[in-house]
Structure 1
């Protein structure tokens, strides 16, 4: 049976006076339904300047860059999503599951709830097909040009 399986999730706050993860976890409901959730508490709001570096890595003797590594101004991107097609592809993974769906300023905690393996499988097969293998999706979050957090999700795509 074709599938995507989440292997691990790592959320790291690099400046705990600025933001910290209240929770960041994978949950397996049964053999076919798995999801991850996270919540970032923001301590210095409003936040008006955000950049994101996102990269996709494939495991080949360690994780190596695979197709995409993009840095963008998140505030500008959220005002005009069509300006960055690669970022839009990845944004569409979590848009419906998150409160990160508006432009700056951010004056509230950031929440992503129950993003499932089904969403990953659909986007990695039907929207833009990727080869089978082990992957890591990584995001660096910068506020005011300072790296504040790192998010990594490891998963396997088969079929």
Structure 2
């Protein structure tokens, strides 16, 4: 039997490429289970995870008692256009901790053009 998990922390950081990737605008930790229950409290992350749910099995609130599967995820261009950032190269880094133990680090790259 798989252990039920109801304590998940997400660390989100946004970097912009200048001379290498440097921190830009966002850096915060959040309770993932709270985000799933109250998405209106973190609207930017809620938008991101809403699209992530379409290609994963993260489509319910905590607890999670199964493997997380993410397949064929691409953030739609129209979502990136909603963000009021200058053109350039960006990196989003997400870290995931379960019961305060950091287990996963994900880096995603995006380019904003005219």
Mark yes or no: TM-score above 0.5.
yes
Q: Which runs of 5+ in 2 are unaligned?
A: none
1:106 paired to 2:64? yes
RMSD over aligned CA atoms reads 1.7
Correspondent of 1:62 among 13, 16, 20: 20
Match of 1:152 in 2: 107
Equivalent runs, 1:84-123 vs 2, <5 Å: 84-116=42-74, 119=76, 121-123=77-79
Structure in which a larger fraction of residues adopt strand: 1
Match of 2:95 in 1: 140
Instruction: Report SS of the residue matched to 2:78.
Output: helix
* TM-score when normalising by structure 2: 0.87
* TM-score when normalising by structure 1: 0.64
Match of 1:9 in 2: none
Instruction: Report SS of the residue matched to 1:113.
Output: coil
Q: Distance in 1 between matches of 2:31 and 2:70?
A: 20
Q: Distance in 2 between matches of 1:57 and 1:74?
A: 21
Match of 2:5 in 1: 47
Q: Deviations over 1:105-127 (max 9, x none)?
A: 1111111221225x1x21111x2
Q: Which runs of 5+ in 1 are unaligned?
A: 1-43
- Tell me the number of residue pairs that the alignment of Structure 1 and Structure 2 aligns: 113
